[in-house]
Amino acid sequence: MKLSGFTLCSLLAVSAVSASVLHLVPGNDDAHEHLVKRHGFVRRQAAQSGPTASNEADFAKIKDPKQQCAVYGVPEITQMQDQGVIPTGGEPATIQQKDAEAQKIWKDIQDSGIIPNDVQVKKQQGSEPHMGIDSSSYNAQEDPDCWWSASTCKTPKHKNPGMMEDLYTCPEPDTWGLTFDDGPNCSHNAFYDFLAENKLRATLFYIGTNVLNHPYQAQRGIADGHDICVHTWSHRYMTTFESDQVFAELYYTARLIKQVMGVTPTCWRPPYGDVDDRVRAIAAGLGLRTILWEEDTNDWQIQPSGAKPTSVIDQNYQSIIGKAGSESPIVLTHEIVSATMKEFMKMYPKVKEAYKNVVPLTACQNITQPYPEDQLKYPNFKDFTGGNIAPSGLPDGQSMKVDPNAKFEPVALDQQAKNGYGYGDPKSGSGGGGDSSSSSSSGGSGSDSEEGSSAAAALSTSFASTAALFVAGAVAIAVI
């Protein structure tokens, strides 16, 4: 899809009703009507009023979305903020001056030689930092950087040791790879209940600031047996960051997932699909496999937060459903707002009828140990589709605690492959051996865009946008 002169707006906000992301539709003449005023991030305090639940299990029982989204305090989160070892929520992450651990891990990645030295930071466009990309001067035809936003390239052009190609499809037949971006949504209990009732597990790409604001909701993701991955700290265009900020966006999200949920993620998805070999390499050094998608529901466009009527999103789903039997895609869907969650719930019977297998990426890729923490074991494809869907070793929601002192020890992807775990070591063919990444190529028939935002070759892409905004609590969202 051509992107010349289109507008995309991404607003990540926690409102009184839901933790929502508002995206503006490419080419929408009325896009500016949806721009939202910028509010300051409301810093979490342990004493703030909110739900009476004091653990994940009790929080999961709350039915009222407004009560779910009321501000609540977790002393351990406040402790980390007071210690200056965690970035400000909603703002692009930087390596914290007092964080010696982060500085050491970043130096180790730099010294490893995995990061290509000839891939430039991509040009920004638009009034808000890191919320737009300009590819007008980039040679998309040759695509030396394997820049997905310019070419949908998925196989690195640089062969630095430790780099791996992206995953975007399932090696198993007749399979829908179930993924949801932009969680945890503060009002997701009904949605997660639906997934549990239908014996569904998904791969969830969590935003760091959302985990910061909603730790109990984040804990439910792992307690329910889903697969947890990184979706950056602030949901910006990653190729526009300097390398140390690329690291910070990934590192602080992954470390907070460890501190809140007790697991070390080994996968990530770039917001808008914006990744090149420099960003891939930093992620790989941090132990994170890049996950893209073959099909995109574009559900983020759904009204009322988006500009498209539900019927259009229905058609998007139906288009993917119509390809059942001819492909096994990883599919991009969102936890963004209640409308996107309700849309999946509505369309799932049709998805289930068309695709024999609807599975998380752990099953899709036959990854039975997605984390270094070896007490958690996930079913492979054969077991999952045979009805054994529950991972073993899951934490108990009543006793899960946020641990500021949790030891975060990321393992680079090539070492994961040697050790036989994580997304560095996927398998192909119903639990058999072999790296399934061989199914990923720089071409492919994949959908061109997350949130409708692929960059066409040699075109200037312009994104009039707001900065990502996170409001921890019932802060009014003003529309201009």
pLDDT in tens, 284-322: 999 999 999 999 999 999 999 999 999 999 999 999 999
Q: Is residue 261 part of a domain?
A: yes
Q: Which residues pair with 152 in a beta bridge?
A: none
Q: Does a structural domain hold residue 405?
A: yes
Q: Which residues contact 208 (CB under 8 A, 6 or more apart)?
A: 87, 93, 230, 231, 232, 233, 234, 249, 252, 253, 256, 257
* Contact call for residues 117 and 109 (beta carbons, < 8 A): no
Structure tokens at 125: 């466009």
In a domain, 459, yes or no: no
| Terminal C-alpha separation, the chain | 28
* 274 within 8 A of 121, measured Cβ to Cβ: no
What residue numbers bound the domain in which 301 lies? 92-439
Residue 71 placed within a domain = no
Model confidence, pTM: 0.84
Between vectors from CA 77 to CA 76 and to CA 82, what angle results, nearest 5°? 95
Angstrom distance (rounded) from CA 81 to CA 103: 17
Asked if residue 28 is part of any domain, the answer here is: no
Burial of 189 (0-12, 13-18, 19+ CB in 10 A): buried
Q: How far apart are CA 174 and CA 328, in angstroms?
A: 6
Q: Is position 102 within any domain?
A: yes
DSSP symbol at 439: G
Q: Do the beta carbons of residue 15 and residue 1 sit within 8 Å?
A: no
Q: SS3 of 291, please?
A: strand
Spatial separation of the C-alpha atoms in residues 347 and 260, rounded to whole Å = 32
Q: Mark the ranges of the chain whose per-residue pLDDT is less than 70.
A: 1-50, 429-480
Whether residue 181 lies in the annotated active site = yes
Residue for token pair 């997660």: 192
Q: Is residue 475 part of a domain?
A: no
Question: For residue 469, what pLDDT is reported?
Answer: 32
| Catalytic member of 226, 334, 414, 435 | 334
Q: Three-class SS of residue 122? A: coil
CATH of the domain at 112: 3.20.20.370
Which helix (H) or strand (E) segment holds residue 21: the answer is strand 19-23
Classify 452 as helix, strand or coil.
coil
- For 380, residues 6+ apart whose C-beta sits below 8 A from its C-beta are 363, 366, 367, 368, 427, 430, 431
In this predicted model, what pLDDT tens digit does every residue of 242-257 receive, in sequence order? 999 999 999 999 999 9
> Do the domain assignments include residue 472?
no
Question: What is residue 472's predicted lDDT score, i.e. its pLDDT?
Answer: 33
The C-alpha atoms of residue 201 and residue 364 are separated, in whole angstroms, by 11
Q: Smallest Cα–Cα separation from 224: which of 391, 64, 67, 387? A: 391
Counted domains in the chain: 1
Distances in Å between the Cα of 382 and the Cα atoms of 34, 394, 429, 472 are 45, 20, 9, 41
Using a CB cutoff of 8 Å and minimum separation of 24, what contacts does 49-52 make? 50/473
* pLDDT score of 440: 36
User: Is 158 a residue of the active site?
Assistant: no
Per annotation, catalytic residue among 134, 181, 224, 274: 181
